[in-house]
Amino acid sequence: MIQKMKGTYDILPSEVGKWQALERKIRSVSKIYHYQEIRTPIFENSDLFHRSVGEHTDIVSKETYDFMDRGKRKNTLRPEGTAPVVRSYIENKMYADKLPVQKLFYMGPMFRYERPQKGRFRQFVQFGAEAFGSNSPMLDAEVIAYAVSVLKALKIKDVRVEINSLGDEESKMLYKEELLKHLAPEIDTLCHDCQTRYQSNPLRILDCKIDQDKPLLKEAPKPIDYLTKEAQSHFDELIGYLDAMDINYTINNNLVRGLDYYTHTVFEVHLNGDLLGMQTAICGGGRYNDLVKSLDGPDIPAVGFAFGVDRLMTALDAIDFQGDDDDIHLYLMILGEEQKAEAMKLVQRLRIGGILTDVDFLDKSMKAQFKLADRMNARFVAIYGAQERIDGEINVKNQKTGEEHRISTKKLYTHILTELTKPSHDCEDCEDGTCCG
């Protein structure tokens, strides 16, 4: 038997309702913040990721799924969403759009050849946002508030927002020099990866999971102490906006994030407690003012984030989030061969009108069909036999209350619709929709 590939998973029909409900919430918060959806291809020219994410990052050096196509072009399955969105922004000249600040979001599968473990897959889903066209810290603040609002809308509490600033290119250069000087005498005490990073990507050493607690790193200079005046005021302004917006955050001076392209603000959202098991980061992001230019676009600043949607789902499972149910509205029991054509006509009319209807296709007995209706969680069951066809009338039973009505088949649609839209309880106390919405 062929099995799914390591690090991948199936979403079975019984779980798909939760995913759809989660995706809907994400889209509705995105709309409120006025971000528009963009969909880019799942594979791109490999150069895109080498030039943006960075040759020396784990993602590009160890984790991409690369393949040569029949035209001998190098393709890579996207390992993240920012580079493709930036590519599309440049290629489609979105910077010349009538809206000077373009606010986009995406949601879809990403691919990384990582060691699969709890919360870490080889195919996983990310939802991310990218806002182009302004260097204002107001936009950094908006993006962080948007990420926090997604969690609020999903009722995921107990989150921790960590922020830091890497500064502009000049700050980053100054800082790198100091960091290298500090690490040089004892670099051979760090792990093998950190020793490689010393040459290629020294900032990454700061958030190494293995060496994190070593005094050499604890006493290392911090990027925040090497910010230029402009970079410092960008960070101060951001903090002012976050305070004004009542967003809780902590400043983590060791936060650098794994990708090469970040400048100024970097941030992560972690879930406290046990919601995710080992992995606590659910969202990461920051400002990347030089990326558009470095991919041959105009000099346009940008800021964004990416959420692991699989990890959101794990967190939702822990808080017993109820997704969309897969109950049907009506089960129509057809009795007798001669009734089938008329019954299908009736079913088609109901479905076109939006009533979720199903029937039996295996000529089962009445008893077996009642069982089937139960398994489908049918809200109503109606029986259509020879007498019903002759009379043009049908018995409809509300499965919950046991109430039964005999009505004209012509009125079946209106009857079901009216019953379905009746409030399930007295809503006097919830005028604002918080109870039923």
Could you list the residues that contact ligand AMP (CB under 6 A)? Answer: 80, 112, 114, 119-121, 124, 126, 258, 281-284, 306, 308, 310-311
Q: Which is nearer to ligand AMP, 180 or 281 (CB)?
A: 281
CA–CA gap between residue 238 and residue 145 (Å, rounded): 11
Query: What is the full DSSP assignment across 57-119?
Result: SHIIIII-EEEE-TTS-EEEE-S-SHHHHHHHHHHTTGGGSSSSSEEEEEEEEEE-----BTT
Q: Which two tokens stand for residue 112?
A: 């990384």
Q: Least distance in Å: CB of 305 to ligand AMP?
A: 8
Classify the phi-psi angles of 257: left when phi > 0, otherwise alpha if psi is within -120 to 50, otherwise beta.
left
What is the token pair recorded at 247? 């967003």
Work out how close the CB of 126 gets to ligand AMP at its nearest, in angstroms, rounded to a whole number: 5
First to last CA, the chain: 45
- Closest contact distance (angstroms) between CB of 50 and ligand AMP is 16
The residue among 172 and 311 lying less far from ligand AMP, judged by its C-beta, is 311
CB closer to ligand AMP out of 121 and 132: 121
Which residue, 283 or 333, has its beta carbon nearer to ligand AMP? 283
Residue nearest to ligand AMP (CB): 308
206, 166 contact by CB (below 8 A): no
Nearest approach, Cβ of 260 to ligand AMP (angstroms)?
A: 12
Cα–Cα distance list, 355 to 51, 168, 408, 422 (Å): 51, 57, 17, 15
Q: Closest CB to ligand AMP among 207 and 393?
A: 207
The nearest distance, CB 12 to ligand AMP, in angstroms, is 19
Quote the CA–CA distance of 409 and 118 in Å, as a whole number. 53
Q: Which is nearer to ligand AMP, 159 or 347 (CB)?
A: 159
Query: Token digits for 32?
Result: 């409120």
Least distance in angstroms from the C-beta of 176 to ligand AMP: 21
What amino acid occupies position 98?
K
Q: Select 202 or 308, whichever has its Cβ closest to ligand AMP.
A: 308
User: Closest separation between CB of residue 114 and ligand AMP, Å?
Assistant: 5
In whole angstroms, what is the distance from residue 291 CA to residue 298 CA?
10
